[in-house]
A and B are shown apart, each in its own frame.
Chain A
């Protein structure tokens, strides 16, 4: 096999069939997603529309097909999801939610659309001030931070989760507005979620969970405080997520899954220990989850594909330096190139 152990570079065109990435099929699959309006699934997932666009677009960028979705239409759709309070809803007319707002910001970032946000975004009036463009979005996000605990709520409903904290810092940093929130307090909260086994849970005392670990590490990376992590202990727990089939699971004794493979592998990357797992086995597992004809990735081999696992499958392969893919950033799950454009060329140079 042409793959080297560890986070190696995947081999070239001499790869056997089952280790080939069906790039064309994946591009087609993602392009087809928005044309399925006659399917029930489309309507049942309306509350995920903007997230879905982020997943699809990220996958396309990593596949080196950034223009496979029309840029202007993408920007128009995102802006049409903006609510009066500056945040973004999942679809036009929906209430703003933190998770759709971060997707909106990430999409605009990827298609270089912040300028259009400045020009055409909602103007928000709060407390005598009038905010527009990035700042209107930033104010909405900052308003979701609990100034006593440092956490973020997803919406006015008040649900708190470390994922929300990460989403908040993610979007604010892309907007260049981190100073609107109390980053130190947020860091303290994450530190309080560290568990005896080295992992992190959704709240202090909650079971370690790969998805939550990703959110905590990414938030700490954005805050520049990855130094608070016990990297060896966490690295051991994370590397134990790899099962014999090569995939990674989210918790001990759970099934391996493509999305967890991304969360664990990106977490290991953030603490510099991706080489502790078998990269060749992992990429072979991810490739087995693709539908080489119809395109898309499923959670496990043989299951139904969806855009969520498609994004994380491709991102996982990119993390493992799979040939032909654009380099992904472990913290933002966006192309590194895009982040260098938004955050400056110095971004990520210490990797």
Chain B
């Protein structure tokens, strides 16, 4: 650091302001960093060519210092260098502040205030000791196979510090069931843990175990099952308010729909609500497909998501087509509804050509090449049309669409579109025609 009390040389940049309050620790560290390298800051603001001769010399020395270049010099030169540094009162530069990462709740530590950061450091050290100690304690209890209320306290404590320990969850659920503890009370607690730990998946499996037991307890009491479904869905809504694409919540929801027979109890309406908020939420689209095309009321048992199902009523197919069409109009370049549309057509055994007019709304291509510009509002529509035209045998039109995609509207995947064009020539079909020419042999060992 620069020696205190000595008179600053003339060329020295303006001294830093008296101790300042910074809004975040990252700002504070950055400021300290900048203050420790005044000449670099000065050069950056004024431009090196505008520095005075004295400033230039100081700047050069500061850079030698910061980059460590001086270390490679002979000892005598190093000595000389340090004397100069002293006389020029160049401060020792601090290392560039590193990203402080996120805390266990996912909050950026750099955004803490300096005071909060101090507390955080202290807490971090405390937790470190505590976590080791409590885990050791729990291991002893587990070895003794003790299932007592204090296990619940202890595991709650550990989970509050680190929710990712699967062993802790496992032992907690075993203990809960052994003690016949109140499952609704546990669910209540789990709700809060889940809201604080969006990325944790152990919680959702724990929840599944709890609900499984509740369903057993409730038996065939329709009213109670309905209540359970309602409260679970209400909690998931809270989770979706935080992140409407949380994968763990969605897979739990699919499990719950099957478990509680929720097929016709507001699932489609919920998907619609989420899609009104964000029409690009692919998770909501996927859930809608699941609910509509796996509903045991009309779907053929065992029909795969990728195949035709003769059991789907026409009015359901029509409704789904209309719904996705509206979403395509809302955001033409959103791939989810276009994928969905293809999925619906497949399920209903309908041809892509049946929606040629609709897809044509997004694409205007002049009849002959060279007759003016085309107008493409959605590359997905163009892709859809290419397949529809191939279906009709209009190979040339299809080829032109694919060429436009590769050359203009989706250049990053040019190789893909070229392959589609080759495919078109080889059999005239659209996707799903011949087996690719690039088949990778099955990995063989004993098979």
Contacts and interface: CB of A to CB of B under 8 A. Distances in A.
Tell me if chain B binds chain A: yes
A227 B441 CA distance: 9
A343 B247 CA distance: 35
Nearest to B434: A232
Nearest to B250: A207
B337 to A, nearest CB: 11
B304 A242 contact: no
Q: Give the interface size bracket for A toward B.
A: 35 or more
B316 interface: no
A278 interface: yes
Interface in A219-242: 221-227, 230-233, 235-237, 239-240, 242
B343 A155 contact: no
Contacts of A237: 339
B339 A157 contact: no
A159 B248 CA distance: 12
A254 B245 contact: yes
- The 7 A-B pairs at the shortest CB distance, nearest first, are namely A350-B441, A196-B343, A224-B447, A207-B286, A272-B438, A205-B290, A224-B442
A233 to B, nearest CB: 6
A31 interface: no
A162 to B, nearest CB: 11
6 contacts: A41-B101, A202-B251, A222-B443, A226-B440, A226-B442, A276-B416
B431 interface: yes
B289 interface: yes
Contacts of B446: 178-179
B198 interface: no
A231 B306 CA distance: 13
A297 to B, nearest CB: 14
Contacts of B415: 5-6, 275-277
B402 to A, nearest CB: 12
Contacts of B431: 232-233, 236
Main secondary structure of the interface of B (DSSP, over half): helix
B264 interface: no
A71 interface: no
A196 B347 contact: yes
Contact of A205 (B254, B282, B438, B444): B254
Contacts of B250: 206-207
B170 interface: yes
A44 B104 contact: yes
Contacts of A95: 167, 170
A328 B436 CA distance: 24
A76 to B, nearest CB: 22
Interface stretch (B4-12, B86-94, B126-134, B175-183): B126-134
A97 interface: yes
Contacts of B128: 40, 43
A36 interface: no
Interface in A262-285: 269-273, 275-278, 281
Nearest to B121: A40
Contact of B440 (A47, A270, A281): A270
Nearest to A270: B440
A344 B445 contact: yes
Interface in B63-109: 98-99, 101-102, 104
B164 A196 contact: no
A194 B131 contact: no
B377 interface: no
Q: Most B CB atoms within 10 A — which of A40, A179, A222, A344?
A: A40
B197 interface: no
A271 B165 CA distance: 35
A6 to B, nearest CB: 6
Given A205-B294, A205-B305, A230-B432, A277 B124 contact: no
A253 B416 contact: no
B178 to A, nearest CB: 15
Nearest to A275: B415
B251 A252 contact: no
B445 A173 contact: yes
B306 A93 contact: no
B413 interface: yes
Interface in A1-22: 5-6
B129 to A, nearest CB: 10
Contacts of A235: 416, 436
Interface residues of B, number: 71
Interface of B: 98-99, 101-102, 104, 124-125, 127-128, 131-132, 139, 162, 164-167, 169-170, 173, 202, 205, 209, 245, 247, 250-251, 254-255, 280-283, 286-287, 289-290, 293-294, 304-306, 334-336, 339-340, 342-343, 346-347, 412-416, 419, 431-432, 435-436, 438-447
Contact of B251 (A179, A203, A221, A244): A203
A159 B441 contact: no
Interface in A147-161: 154-159
Nearest to A281: B412
Interface string A175-207: 000110000000000011011111001111111
A276 B432 CA distance: 16
Contacts of A350: 440-444
Contacts of B139: 93
A351 interface: yes
A12 B255 CA distance: 51
Nearest to B443: A221
Contacts of B131: 43-44
Contacts of A304: 99, 101-102
A155 B165 CA distance: 13
A209 B342 contact: no
Q: Most B CB atoms within 10 A — which of A5, A192, A206?
A: A206
A200 to B, nearest CB: 10
Contacts of A240: 335, 413
Contact of B442 (A227, A232, A242): A227
A197 B339 contact: yes
Given A47-B166, A196-B306, A272 B440 contact: yes
Contact of B282 (A93, A154, A231, A251): A251
Contacts of A242: 412-413
B413 A196 contact: no
Contacts of B435: 231
A208 interface: yes
Contact of A303 (B99, B287, B413): B99
B210 to A, nearest CB: 13
Q: Most B CB atoms within 10 A — which of A5, A179, A252?
A: A252
B254 to A, nearest CB: 5
Given A196-B305, A196-B346, A272-B440, A343 B166 contact: no
A195 B285 CA distance: 12
Contacts of A43: 128, 131-132
B306 A207 contact: no
A100 B346 CA distance: 41
B281 A253 contact: yes
A221 B416 contact: no
Q: Most A CB atoms within 10 A — which of B245, B346, B443?
A: B443
A275 B342 CA distance: 25
A256 B66 CA distance: 35
Contacts of A53: none
B412 A251 contact: no
